[in-house]
Copies of this chain bind each other. A is one copy, B any other.
Amino acid sequence: MSALRKLDALDDIIHQKVRLGVMSSLMASGEADFNFLKQALSVSDGNLSTHLTVLEEHGYVSVRKEFVGKKPRTTYSPTPLGRKAFEQYIEALEELVQASRRG
Copies of this protein in the assembly total 2
Which residue of B1, B3, B17, B40 contacts A39 across the interface (Cβ within 8 Å)? B1
Interface residues on A, range: 20 to 34
Q: Which residue of B lies closest to A10 (CB)?
A: B17
Which residues of A pack against B, CB within 8 Å?
A: 1, 3-5, 7-8, 10, 12, 15, 17-18, 20-21, 23-25, 27-30, 39-42, 86, 90, 93, 96-97, 99-103
A97 CB contacts on chain B under 8 angstroms: 24, 90, 93
Could you tell me the distance between the alpha carbons of A8 and B20 in the complex, rounded to whole angstroms? 12
Q: Would you give the shortest CB distance from A3 to chain B, in whole angstroms?
A: 7
Chosen A-B contacts, 6 in total, with CB atoms closer than 8 Å, are A3-B24, A4-B24, A5-B42, A7-B20, A12-B17, A24-B99
A100-B1 contact given A10-B17, A17-B7, A41-B7, CB 8 Å threshold: no
Q: Would you give the shortest CB distance from A62 to chain B, in whole angstroms?
A: 16
